[in-house]
Chains A and B, each alone.
Chain A
């Protein structure tokens, strides 16, 4: 179609259409932000998340400044002389069972925990949105097949399944952060797929989609131009909630010893404290901080997701 258009006219019209679309998007985003700003819970969540994301981003600079140690590099070394020391001026949050600074572990752990959270949520979003879109827009046999698959993944008990996957996925016998991400991603997409499919089914019946079909648009064009943009906000709000699930899931899997012992995460810190003396020696300074961080981050993502949900679901706004 593009080729048949006279060059000059087509280009300028298309450019102005694009500009108008951009303007509308900006207006819409600004409106969303105004509503979001009024939501106190959402703002609280944003502040919490900004703090932790800032902490994760600043871990390298802080290390370069010499303010904290790099536990990833200290993973093999151990200094038993200062093992499990309570908080002091040189170690603000004390030390762990190998004499490493707990505060440094916490800062570097935030980076890995958030990476796992975002990466796993991204896989969840892609898989969930993809399967939901295909099931909803192709219908019939494809829908039936994909929805049965979704049902299957919904009823499978999460932890035993994740444990099995983590033991079976290659490289065997070698726990890795990447494997944890994959495992969380492929176990948590079903709810997203369901929500996306339901949304697609309602959009498909709208007049403009019917019109597009009448003009002869192909399936891929309808998915790309009409369905995808309309389900994206929903997928986004859901994806943010998935990050909080993923961070909790990482903690569970790490606690069972399925994570890479050389890549510090909050879950791994709790695993270490439970298994190597921190817990039995009552080292509250080592046990409390990672747990509190997990709770705060999960709450932060949950609050932001709730706030977005309220904006995107006008039905909820009256409450």
Chain B
């Protein structure tokens, strides 16, 4: 019972935030200097046709009426019409989204695994050389612009040593490929983008896990465990790590924003055909509806991720429900 009210509360919160972001997005678009009607058809249209166009797009209606019409069509899944691709924005984005999800999914898996592992290694050897090395390198990668690391990896490993392909997901020339060949080639192209992704986003997890573990290790129950005669290994594994994982889950959701930022930059450098490259193209062609659509979709994804993290958290840490 208590559980249900908690979920409902969280869900309502998500919906309110979503509406607020949508409203912000709507007003930004309408505060834009210049006529949105001209954005679609281009500035070379005869001046006397502009009122007719404004009427056609419903831009002559009062703002509040436009607001509700617009909200209605968004709820029906229409995010507008791309000025450059001349296609439905949602279709343009969902096509690209699958590639981004592939990169982010694989990348996040390795990031969490490696990050938590290195965090435990560093946290349980506080002050030892290995700890210093892990924390030092994590901080360095944390301070590194993702796109710069991508450029450096491409220049050294692909352009100079020819170990990895230069860009994209597939070689465009090759046409007759077997199914396994396609998969293999895709994986081969994924190595560098995923590596960059893991390196730049891992540091957050390493530092968080390390600090949480260091914190937990000063707790009284750890002293009790030591007094009972447990081996240090057992203390770390059974008593410290499970408790140190809690804040890591809670704070993970907060870093999704930076992960999105990193992904966009990595995609641009590797010409990965996902959302990041779409941002790049849309900026180049000033395709504002697409930029706004991406903004909405990514915000939705982030809100859902936060919501999921909240729910997972209530299962692993019952204290937050009270």
User: A172 touching B261 by the CB < 8 A rule?
Assistant: no
User: A164 touching B143 by the CB < 8 A rule?
Assistant: no
Contact of A170 among B17, B33, B279 (CB under 8 A): B33
Question: Chain A 138-170 against B: per-residue CB contact (8 Å), 1 yes, 0 no?
Answer: 000000000010011011111111011101101
Q: Is B20 an interface residue (CB 8 A)?
A: yes
Closest chain A residue, CB of each to CB of B269: A274
User: B145 touching A155 by the CB < 8 A rule?
Assistant: no
Chain A positions within 8 Å of B218 at CB level: 318-319
Q: Is B88 an interface residue (CB 8 A)?
A: no
**Known: A152-B17, A152-B21, A287-B151. Contact between A298 and B143, CB under 8 A?**
yes
Q: Is B120 an interface residue (CB 8 A)?
A: no
Chain B positions within 8 Å of A152 at CB level: 17, 20-21, 24
Of the stretches B176-184, B235-243, B299-307, the one at the interface is: B299-307
Tell me the residues in window 139-196 of chain B with beta carbons closer than 8 Å to chain A beta carbons. 139-140, 142-145, 147-148, 151-152, 154-155, 159-160
Q: How many Å lie between the Cα of A101 and that of B197 in the bound state?
A: 32
Instruction: Give min CB distance, B249 to chain A, whole Å.
Output: 17
Q: How many Å lie between the Cα of A296 and that of B144 in the bound state?
A: 9
Chain B positions within 8 Å of A257 at CB level: 283-284
A157, A244, A270: most-surrounded residue (chain B CB, <10 A):
A157
Closest chain B residue, CB of each to CB of A287: B151
User: A295 touching B265 by the CB < 8 A rule?
Assistant: no
Tell me the residues in window 6-60 of chain B with beta carbons closer than 8 Å to chain A beta carbons. 16-17, 20-21, 24-25, 28-29, 31-34
Q: How many A-B residue contacts, CB cutoff 8 Å?
A: 133
Chain B positions within 8 Å of A256 at CB level: 268, 279-280, 283
User: A159 touching B302 by the CB < 8 A rule?
Assistant: no
Contact of A161 among B160, B288, B295 (CB under 8 A): B295
Q: How many Å lie between the Cα of A290 and that of B144 in the bound state?
A: 11
Instruction: Give min CB distance, B47 to chain A, whole Å.
Output: 20
Q: Is B291 an interface residue (CB 8 A)?
A: yes
Instruction: Give min CB distance, B252 to chain A, whole Å.
Output: 14
How many interface residues does A have (CB within 8 Å)?
Answer: 46
User: B155 touching A279 by the CB < 8 A rule?
Assistant: yes
Chain A interface mostly: helix
Closest chain B residue, CB of each to CB of A161: B295
User: A160 touching B32 by the CB < 8 A rule?
Assistant: no
Q: Is B92 an interface residue (CB 8 A)?
A: no
Q: How many Å lie between the Cα of A172 and that of B24 in the bound state?
A: 18
Contact of B139 among A161, A291, A302 (CB under 8 A): A302
Chain A positions within 8 Å of B116 at CB level: none
Chain B positions within 8 Å of A274 at CB level: 147, 151, 269
Q: How many Å lie between the Cα of A88 and that of B302 in the bound state?
A: 49
Chain A positions within 8 Å of B71 at CB level: none
Q: Is A120 an interface residue (CB 8 A)?
A: no
Tell me the residues in window 244-261 of chain A with beta carbons closer than 8 Å to chain B beta carbons. 244, 248, 251-252, 255-258
**Known: A167-B291, A287-B151, A291-B152. Contact between A252 and B261, CB under 8 A?**
yes
Q: Is B260 an interface residue (CB 8 A)?
A: yes
Chain B positions within 8 Å of A161 at CB level: 295
Q: How many Å lie between the Cα of A273 and that of B286 in the bound state?
A: 22
Q: Is B315 an interface residue (CB 8 A)?
A: no
Chain A positions within 8 Å of B306 at CB level: 155
Q: Is B134 an interface residue (CB 8 A)?
A: no
User: B291 touching A163 by the CB < 8 A rule?
Assistant: yes
Contact of B152 among A159, A244, A288 (CB under 8 A): A288
Chain B positions within 8 Å of A279 at CB level: 151, 154-155
**Known: A155-B299, A163-B279, A252-B265. Contact between A168 and B147, CB under 8 A?**
no
User: A157 touching B260 by the CB < 8 A rule?
Assistant: yes
B151, B152, B279, B286: most-surrounded residue (chain A CB, <10 A):
B151
Chain B positions within 8 Å of A35 at CB level: none
Question: Chain B 285-312 against A: per-residue CB contact (8 Å), 1 yes, 0 no?
Answer: 0101001101100110011001000000
Contact of A160 among B155, B286, B291 (CB under 8 A): B291
Q: How many Å lie between the Cα of A216 and that of B33 in the bound state?
A: 50
Contact of A155 among B31, B147, B302 (CB under 8 A): B302
Instruction: Give min CB distance, A173 to chain B, whole Å.
Output: 8
Contact of A252 among B28, B145, B154, B257 (CB under 8 A): B145
Closest chain B residue, CB of each to CB of A149: B20
Which 4 A-B pairs give the minimum distances between C-beta atoms? A298-B143, A291-B148, A159-B261, A160-B295
A contact set with B: CB distance below 8 Å: 148, 151-152, 154-161, 163-165, 167-168, 170, 172-173, 244, 248, 251-252, 255-258, 267, 270, 273-274, 279, 282, 284, 287-288, 290-291, 294-296, 298-299, 302, 318-319
A-B contact pairs, 9 of them (CB 8 A): A148-B20, A156-B257, A157-B260, A167-B291, A257-B284, A274-B147, A274-B151, A290-B148, A302-B143
